[in-house]
Amino acid sequence: MTRFYVVGNLKMNMLSREEASQYLTVLRRESSSKRYAYVTGIIAPSFLYSAQFDDLPKSIKKGAQNMFPEKSGSYTGEISPLMLKNDGVEYVIIGHSERRLYAGETDELIHEKLLSVLKYYMIPIVCIGETRAQREAGKAEQIITGQIRTLFSDLSKLQAEKVIIAYEPRWAIGTDILPTTSEIAEVRMIVRQVLTEMFDTATEERIAVLYGGSVKSSLLPQVAFETGMEGVLVGRESLFPYELVKMMNLFEEEAIRRSKI
Protein backbone atom coordinates (compact mmCIF):
# COMPACT_ATOMS: atom_id res chain seq x y z
CA MET A 1 0.00 0.00 0.00
CA THR A 2 1.21 3.49 -0.77
CA ARG A 3 2.25 5.39 2.31
CA PHE A 4 3.37 9.00 2.33
CA TYR A 5 4.95 11.19 4.99
CA VAL A 6 4.80 14.95 5.34
CA VAL A 7 7.32 16.09 7.94
CA GLY A 8 7.42 19.66 9.24
CA ASN A 9 10.80 20.64 10.64
CA LEU A 10 10.05 23.84 12.54
CA LYS A 11 13.80 24.37 13.18
CA MET A 12 14.71 27.25 15.54
CA ASN A 13 11.51 29.18 14.94
CA MET A 14 8.71 30.44 17.19
CA LEU A 15 10.19 32.57 19.91
CA SER A 16 7.66 32.16 22.70
CA ARG A 17 5.09 29.72 24.08
CA GLU A 18 2.41 32.10 22.84
CA GLU A 19 3.69 31.84 19.27
CA ALA A 20 3.79 28.04 19.51
CA SER A 21 0.27 27.97 20.85
CA GLN A 22 -1.01 30.26 18.08
CA TYR A 23 0.55 27.91 15.54
CA LEU A 24 -1.19 24.95 17.14
CA THR A 25 -4.54 26.72 17.18
CA VAL A 26 -4.32 27.31 13.44
CA LEU A 27 -3.04 23.79 12.77
CA ARG A 28 -5.94 22.23 14.68
CA ARG A 29 -8.42 24.41 12.82
CA GLU A 30 -6.93 23.52 9.43
CA SER A 31 -6.81 19.78 10.01
CA SER A 32 -9.62 19.08 12.45
CA SER A 33 -12.08 17.44 10.07
CA LYS A 34 -9.51 15.64 7.90
CA ARG A 35 -8.90 11.89 7.91
CA TYR A 36 -6.05 10.25 6.02
CA ALA A 37 -5.76 6.63 4.96
CA TYR A 38 -2.37 6.97 3.30
CA VAL A 39 -0.58 9.95 4.83
CA THR A 40 1.19 10.48 8.14
CA GLY A 41 1.97 14.03 9.20
CA ILE A 42 4.85 14.64 11.59
CA ILE A 43 5.80 17.91 13.27
CA ALA A 44 9.15 18.48 14.94
CA PRO A 45 9.07 21.59 17.14
CA SER A 46 11.83 23.00 19.28
CA PHE A 47 12.37 20.87 22.43
CA LEU A 48 11.21 23.83 24.52
CA TYR A 49 7.68 23.63 23.15
CA SER A 50 7.46 19.85 22.85
CA ALA A 51 4.94 19.52 25.70
CA GLN A 52 2.64 22.00 23.97
CA PHE A 53 2.54 19.65 20.96
CA ASP A 54 0.97 16.80 22.95
CA ASP A 55 -2.49 17.49 21.72
CA LEU A 56 -1.96 17.28 17.97
CA PRO A 57 -4.67 16.34 15.47
CA LYS A 58 -4.90 12.54 15.14
CA SER A 59 -3.26 12.45 11.72
CA ILE A 60 -0.15 14.32 12.91
CA LYS A 61 2.50 12.77 15.13
CA LYS A 62 5.05 14.44 17.35
CA GLY A 63 8.66 14.54 16.24
CA ALA A 64 11.97 15.93 17.48
CA GLN A 65 14.77 17.67 15.58
CA ASN A 66 17.74 15.99 17.22
CA MET A 67 18.80 13.76 20.09
CA PHE A 68 21.87 12.60 22.00
CA PRO A 69 22.55 8.85 21.76
CA GLU A 70 23.03 8.19 25.52
CA LYS A 71 20.13 7.41 27.84
CA SER A 72 21.12 9.76 30.71
CA GLY A 73 24.13 11.18 32.51
CA SER A 74 26.60 14.05 32.44
CA TYR A 75 25.93 15.42 28.98
CA THR A 76 25.31 19.11 29.51
CA GLY A 77 22.79 20.63 27.15
CA GLU A 78 21.75 17.37 25.52
CA ILE A 79 18.40 15.58 25.23
CA SER A 80 18.11 11.84 25.82
CA PRO A 81 16.12 9.34 23.74
CA LEU A 82 14.21 8.27 26.83
CA MET A 83 13.26 11.87 27.58
CA LEU A 84 11.82 12.10 24.08
CA LYS A 85 10.08 8.76 24.31
CA ASN A 86 8.54 9.66 27.68
CA ASP A 87 7.42 12.97 26.20
CA GLY A 88 5.41 11.23 23.47
CA VAL A 89 7.83 11.75 20.59
CA GLU A 90 7.45 9.08 17.90
CA TYR A 91 9.85 10.29 15.18
CA VAL A 92 13.33 11.80 15.53
CA ILE A 93 15.12 13.70 12.77
CA ILE A 94 18.84 12.93 12.93
CA GLY A 95 21.82 14.05 10.91
CA HIS A 96 20.18 17.12 9.46
CA SER A 97 22.68 19.03 7.32
CA GLU A 98 22.39 22.04 9.64
CA ARG A 99 23.60 19.80 12.50
CA ARG A 100 26.40 18.49 10.31
CA LEU A 101 27.32 22.08 9.44
CA TYR A 102 26.91 23.92 12.76
CA ALA A 103 27.50 21.12 15.27
CA GLY A 104 30.07 19.11 13.30
CA GLU A 105 28.05 15.89 13.28
CA THR A 106 29.61 13.02 11.35
CA ASP A 107 28.05 9.95 9.76
CA GLU A 108 29.58 7.87 12.57
CA LEU A 109 27.85 9.89 15.30
CA ILE A 110 24.60 9.90 13.32
CA HIS A 111 24.85 6.11 13.04
CA GLU A 112 25.09 5.91 16.84
CA LYS A 113 22.05 8.17 17.16
CA LEU A 114 20.14 6.03 14.66
CA LEU A 115 20.75 2.89 16.72
CA SER A 116 19.69 4.72 19.85
CA VAL A 117 16.42 6.02 18.32
CA LEU A 118 15.56 2.45 17.30
CA LYS A 119 16.52 1.06 20.71
CA TYR A 120 13.90 3.27 22.33
CA TYR A 121 11.21 2.29 19.83
CA MET A 122 11.02 5.56 17.96
CA ILE A 123 11.43 6.06 14.23
CA PRO A 124 14.55 7.76 12.90
CA ILE A 125 14.26 10.17 9.99
CA VAL A 126 17.87 10.23 8.90
CA CYS A 127 19.10 12.96 6.55
CA ILE A 128 21.55 12.47 3.73
CA GLY A 129 22.64 14.69 0.85
CA GLU A 130 25.52 16.24 -0.99
CA THR A 131 26.84 19.82 -1.13
CA ARG A 132 26.77 21.94 -4.28
CA ALA A 133 30.53 21.49 -4.75
CA GLN A 134 30.23 17.71 -4.43
CA ARG A 135 27.45 17.62 -7.03
CA GLU A 136 29.38 19.85 -9.41
CA ALA A 137 32.42 17.60 -9.03
CA GLY A 138 30.26 14.63 -10.09
CA LYS A 139 30.51 13.09 -6.61
CA ALA A 140 26.85 13.08 -5.55
CA GLU A 141 26.44 9.33 -6.06
CA GLN A 142 29.63 8.53 -4.16
CA ILE A 143 28.65 10.77 -1.23
CA ILE A 144 25.12 9.39 -0.97
CA THR A 145 26.30 5.80 -1.25
CA GLY A 146 28.95 6.35 1.44
CA GLN A 147 26.45 8.01 3.79
CA ILE A 148 23.97 5.15 3.48
CA ARG A 149 26.64 2.49 3.93
CA THR A 150 27.85 4.08 7.18
CA LEU A 151 24.41 4.95 8.54
CA PHE A 152 22.95 1.50 7.90
CA SER A 153 26.04 -0.52 8.82
CA ASP A 154 25.42 -3.36 11.29
CA LEU A 155 21.65 -2.90 11.18
CA SER A 156 19.50 -6.01 10.98
CA LYS A 157 16.84 -6.12 8.25
CA LEU A 158 14.19 -5.61 10.92
CA GLN A 159 15.94 -2.48 12.15
CA ALA A 160 16.65 -1.14 8.68
CA GLU A 161 13.06 -1.33 7.49
CA LYS A 162 11.91 1.00 10.28
CA VAL A 163 14.17 3.84 9.17
CA ILE A 164 12.94 6.77 7.07
CA ILE A 165 15.56 8.44 4.89
CA ALA A 166 15.33 12.11 3.93
CA TYR A 167 17.35 13.16 0.90
CA GLU A 168 18.12 16.83 1.38
CA PRO A 169 20.76 18.22 -0.97
CA ARG A 170 22.43 20.91 1.14
CA TRP A 171 22.33 23.42 -1.68
CA ALA A 172 18.54 23.17 -1.94
CA ILE A 173 17.87 23.97 1.72
CA GLY A 174 16.60 27.48 2.27
CA THR A 175 17.60 28.57 -1.22
CA ASP A 176 14.60 27.98 -3.50
CA ILE A 177 17.02 26.30 -5.88
CA LEU A 178 15.77 22.79 -6.54
CA PRO A 179 17.20 19.70 -8.17
CA THR A 180 15.38 18.62 -11.30
CA THR A 181 12.83 15.83 -11.22
CA SER A 182 15.31 13.52 -12.92
CA GLU A 183 18.10 14.38 -10.45
CA ILE A 184 15.81 13.47 -7.54
CA ALA A 185 14.62 10.30 -9.30
CA GLU A 186 18.23 9.32 -9.89
CA VAL A 187 19.04 9.67 -6.18
CA ARG A 188 15.96 7.57 -5.38
CA MET A 189 17.40 4.85 -7.65
CA ILE A 190 20.85 5.07 -6.06
CA VAL A 191 19.34 4.71 -2.57
CA ARG A 192 17.30 1.75 -3.78
CA GLN A 193 20.38 0.03 -5.23
CA VAL A 194 22.58 0.51 -2.16
CA LEU A 195 19.88 -0.70 0.24
CA THR A 196 19.15 -3.73 -1.93
CA GLU A 197 22.86 -4.61 -1.94
CA MET A 198 23.11 -4.18 1.83
CA PHE A 199 19.87 -5.99 2.70
CA ASP A 200 17.43 -7.36 0.13
CA THR A 201 14.62 -6.14 -2.12
CA ALA A 202 11.86 -6.79 0.40
CA THR A 203 13.67 -4.76 3.08
CA GLU A 204 14.53 -1.99 0.64
CA GLU A 205 10.91 -1.67 -0.41
CA ARG A 206 9.85 -1.02 3.18
CA ILE A 207 12.29 1.88 3.67
CA ALA A 208 10.61 5.19 2.87
CA VAL A 209 12.68 7.91 1.24
CA LEU A 210 11.59 11.56 1.43
CA TYR A 211 12.78 14.63 -0.41
CA GLY A 212 13.62 17.86 1.44
CA GLY A 213 14.86 21.29 0.36
CA SER A 214 12.70 24.31 -0.61
CA VAL A 215 9.51 22.24 -0.78
CA LYS A 216 6.14 23.94 -1.33
CA SER A 217 2.78 22.35 -2.03
CA SER A 218 2.89 23.52 -5.66
CA LEU A 219 6.14 21.55 -6.16
CA LEU A 220 4.94 18.15 -4.98
CA PRO A 221 4.55 16.66 -8.47
CA GLN A 222 8.11 17.72 -9.35
CA VAL A 223 9.82 16.61 -6.13
CA ALA A 224 7.71 13.65 -5.06
CA PHE A 225 4.95 12.26 -7.30
CA GLU A 226 7.20 11.95 -10.35
CA THR A 227 10.38 10.93 -8.56
CA GLY A 228 9.42 7.86 -6.54
CA MET A 229 9.87 9.72 -3.25
CA GLU A 230 7.48 8.74 -0.46
CA GLY A 231 7.02 12.15 1.07
CA VAL A 232 8.68 15.43 1.95
CA LEU A 233 10.67 17.05 4.74
CA VAL A 234 9.62 20.68 4.89
CA GLY A 235 11.35 23.64 6.54
CA ARG A 236 10.06 27.17 5.95
CA GLU A 237 6.67 26.23 4.52
CA SER A 238 5.89 24.10 7.56
CA LEU A 239 5.61 27.33 9.54
CA PHE A 240 2.29 27.79 7.72
CA PRO A 241 -0.12 25.14 8.99
CA TYR A 242 -2.32 25.71 5.96
CA GLU A 243 0.53 24.66 3.64
CA LEU A 244 1.38 21.60 5.68
CA VAL A 245 -2.21 20.38 5.66
CA LYS A 246 -2.49 21.15 1.95
CA MET A 247 0.53 18.93 1.29
CA MET A 248 -1.03 16.12 3.30
CA ASN A 249 -4.23 16.50 1.26
CA LEU A 250 -2.33 16.41 -2.04
CA PHE A 251 -0.45 13.26 -1.03
CA GLU A 252 -3.70 11.63 0.02
CA GLU A 253 -5.23 12.45 -3.39
CA GLU A 254 -2.15 11.06 -5.13
CA ALA A 255 -2.34 7.82 -3.12
CA ILE A 256 -6.04 7.42 -3.93
CA ARG A 257 -5.30 8.05 -7.61
CA ARG A 258 -2.60 5.33 -7.55
CA SER A 259 -4.86 2.88 -5.74
CA LYS A 260 -7.29 3.06 -8.67
CA ILE A 261 -4.70 2.29 -11.36
Is 168 known to be catalytic? yes
Going through the chain in order, the beta strands assigned E by DSSP cover 4-9, 39-44, 60-64, 91-94, 123-128, 164-167, 208-212, 231-234
Residue 186's φ and ψ, nearest 5 degrees, are: -65, -40
Q: Which of 96, 105, 204, 237 is catalytic?
A: 96
Could you list the residues that contact ligand 13P (CB under 6 A)?
Answer: 9, 96, 168, 173-174, 212-215, 233-236
The least CB distance from residue 9 to ligand 13P, in Å, is 4
Give the span between the Cα atoms of 43 and 64, in whole angstroms: 8
Q: Which is closer to ligand 13P, CB of 187 or CB of 204?
A: 187
Is 111 known to be catalytic? no
Angle (deg, nearest 10), helices 107-119 and 140-151 = 40
The least CB distance from residue 228 to ligand 13P, in Å, is 19
Q: Which is closer to ligand 13P, CB of 124 or CB of 212?
A: 212
Query: What torsion do the CA atoms of 213, 120, 159, 8 make, to the nearest 10 degrees?
Result: -20
The least CB distance from residue 77 to ligand 13P, in Å, is 21
Residue 97's φ and ψ, nearest 5 degrees, are: -65, -25
Give me the DSSP letters along 232-255: EEESGGGGSHHHHHHHHHHHHHHH
Q: Which is closer to ligand 13P, CB of 117 or CB of 204?
A: 117
The least CB distance from residue 241 to ligand 13P, in Å, is 15
C-beta nearest to ligand 13P: residue: 235
What 3-state DSSP class applies to 8? strand
The least CB distance from residue 11 to ligand 13P, in Å, is 7
What 3-state DSSP class applies to 225? helix
Residue 123's φ and ψ, nearest 5 degrees, are: -110, 125
Q: Which of 30, 168, 252, 254 is catalytic?
A: 168
> Would you please indicate which residues are annotated as catalytic (active-site) residues?
96, 168
